[in-house]
Amino acid sequence: MKTEPLRFFHAFFQRYPTLLGALFAALLLGVGASLLQTNDASSQRDAQGRTPLIQAAEQGDIRKVSDLLAAGAYVHATDGCGWTALMKAAAQGHGEIVRCLLDHGADPEHRDDSGYTALMVAVVNGRTDLAVWLLEQAVAVDTADVDSGWTALLWAAKDGQDALVRELLGHGATVDQPASDGSTPLMWAAKNGHAEVVERLLKAGADTSRRDRDGHTARDLALAAEHPKVLALLDAPSTSL
């Protein structure tokens, strides 16, 4: 092992201890500043309060998401409405990014300022495959938003998403869990004429006698909206379903 460089370093330190200390301090400060700059870059926010990670997740840029996570981006950061990168990816149907974020510790049960979860925004936006995948990860199915008490099942029934209704029920969704106004998934499916969903909810035990805040049953709503197929299902004996 060559000792000349070490001897030179030792001699230099003895002759100029203050200068060398200053050089080391500058070096450490430079490294620290570089790290801080990297951290700042990953946490800078746009006008909507979105960090680069949230933006990349929303845009479906898996490479950028991976790079930001590798650089230490905060996976739990939220935008101005309380949305995380995971929620943005779920709403847009970016399954690969959703899986990547979950692998890095993202919380699938996080709720935004309105009480929505990643599953709920996936359902609201019709991301059936992704919603089913999230259900298979054992996420909560009966979470309701804070403003109107809507659940994923209410949204799926209202929009006639029969496949999602099937999966939600199969993963334990409460068939008659009402919104704040007393409306149930069956009422919304009946009102909007979604006969397949109505039939599925009835087979799952939905209560046809329940009334919303205005006193309406599912049958009342189907009758007012003139949905004969739905009325036939609601009037049929339960044994015939």
- If you compute the radius of gyration of the chain from its CA atoms, what whole number of angstroms results? 28
Range(s) for CATH 1.25.40.20 in the chain? 47-140, 144-241
Alpha-carbon gap, residue 30 to 37, rounded angstroms = 10
Alpha-carbon gap, residue 167 to 132, rounded angstroms = 7
Q: Which CATH number fits domain 47-140: 2.30.300.10, 1.10.290.10, 3.90.120.10, 1.25.40.20?
A: 1.25.40.20
Q: Is the pLDDT of residue 34 over 70?
A: no
Q: Is the pLDDT of residue 36 over 50?
A: no
pLDDT at 38: 44
144-241 belongs to which homologous superfamily?
A: Ankyrin repeat-containing domain (1.25.40.20)
Helix (H, G, I), strand (E, B) or coil at 166: helix
Q: What percent of the chain stands above pLDDT 70?
A: 80
Residues 151-160 pLDDT 10s: 999 999 999 9
Q: pLDDT band at 184, cuts 50/70/90?
A: very high
pLDDT at 108: 97
Is the separation of the CB atoms in 118 and 78 below 8 Å? Answer: no
